[in-house]
Amino acid sequence: QVQLVESGGGLVQAGGSLRLSCAASGRTSSYNVMGWFRQAPGKEREFVAAIRWTSGITYYADSVKGRFTISRDNAKNTVYLQMNSLKPEDTAVYYCAASRGTSYSGTYYSTATSYGYWGHGTQVTVSS
C-alpha cells in the first residue's frame, strides 16, 4: 500500500501563492505517476496536474497551465504543487493521488479512476 499525506493548504488572497506538498510512504516504487486533483463544494473532483516519478514528465489541466507547477523530490518521496496567481475559483479541497499506470497519455492521468490511492486532502481557500 501507499500512504499519501497532503499539507500546505490555507487561506490566501487572490493573486497570491501557495505550495502544496504530498508525502508518500509505503510501496511507492510500485506507482509511476502522482497526481493532484481538486474538488469544490457541489462540484465533481477535477484533475489539476500529474507527474511521472522517474522522467518528470508533467501533465496539466488547461485551467491551471502557466499558473501551477508540479514537481517531485524522489529522495524525499514528495510531490509539490506550486500555485501562483491564485483565483477565487481555485478554492477547493486538493487531493494527492498515486497511479500505477504505464500509459504516457495525459488523458489517462486526468481521470480519477486511473489512480489507486488517495490522500485525505488539504483545503485551499482564495479570497477575492
Q: Answer whether 51's CB lies under 8 Å from 24's CB.
A: no
Residue 101 pLDDT level (bands cut at 50, 70, 90):
confident
Closest C-alpha to 36, from 109, 126, 103: 109
- Report the SS3 class of residue 5: strand
Closest C-alpha to 34, from 108, 86, 109, 94: 109
What is the percentage of the chain residues whose pLDDT exceeds 90?
84
Tens digits of residue pLDDT in 49-100: 999 999 999 999 999 999 999 999 999 999 999 999 999 999 999 999 999 8
Q: Answer whether 20's CB lies under 8 Å from 7's CB.
A: yes
What separation, in Å, do the N-terminal and C-terminal C-alpha atoms of the chain show? 40
Distance, in Å, from the CA atom of 24 to the CA atom of 77, rounded to the nearest integer, reads 5
**Residues 6+ away with beta carbon under 8 Å from 89:** 40, 126
